[in-house]
């Protein structure tokens, strides 16, 4: 004669089944988030591990990138005219490497904050980047007449937003460069 199931056994099976389904669903959600937001997650991790700055610290540009005649791109914020997520485009301004060399410094500004934000690479592509908001060194700031963000080049449907300028985090240092 087969043993009869007690009322506790079906409940235990249902609980186990629920745990398995919940675990599988959680794993699927984590995979989807990582596949769609993996780069952003990595950039936040890089910021946590490598950002040496506090608000008000001096920000220096990597010396190997400061060469005669070069300009250093800075970025400004834009947003959709109908609301939505902000992103960055090259600003109408650049920092002049010649001016930095003239003043014998690689200081490009003062650190304000960081953002993981999309940058417009062309009319269709946006790529998330780790950017530092800075108060720029005005001695090196020049209007860039060939910049991406001239009014005709800001993506259709977007407008400029006032705020700080941004630089690519990977091109910065927290100490004056000594010829390296």
Q: pLDDT per residue over 5-59, tens digit each? A: 555 567 777 888 888 888 988 888 888 777 777 777 888 888 888 889 999 999 9
Q: Strand (E) positions, the chain?
A: 58-61, 71-80, 87-96, 107-120, 126-136, 141-143, 158-160, 165-168, 172-173
CB under 8 Å to 141, separation ≥6 — which residues?
93, 94, 95, 96
**What does the pLDDT look like over 147-156, one tens digit per residue?**
555 555 678 8
């Amino acid at each position: 004669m087969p043993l009869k199931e007690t009322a506790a056994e079906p409940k235990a099976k249902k609980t186990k089944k629920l745990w398995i389904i919940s675990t599988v669903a959680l794993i699927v959600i984590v995979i989807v988030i990582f596949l769609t937001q993996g780069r952003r997650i990595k950039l936040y991790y890089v910021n946590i591990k490598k950002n040496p700055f506090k608000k008000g610290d001096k920000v220096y540009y990597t010396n190997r990138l400061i060469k005669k005649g070069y300009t250093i791109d800075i970025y400004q914020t834009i947003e959709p005219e109908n609301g939505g997520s902000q992103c960055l485009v090259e600003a109408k301004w650049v920092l002049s490497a010649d001016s930095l060399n003239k003043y014998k410094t690689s200081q490009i500004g003062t650190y304000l904050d960081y953002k993981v934000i999309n940058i417009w690479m062309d009319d269709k592509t946006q790529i998330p980047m780790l950017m530092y908001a800075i108060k720029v060194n005005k001695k090196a700031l020049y209007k860039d007449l060939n910049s991406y963000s001239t009014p005709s080049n800001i993506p259709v449907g977007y407008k400029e937003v006032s705020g700080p300028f941004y630089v690519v985090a990977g091109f910065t240092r927290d100490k004056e460069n000594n010829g390296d």
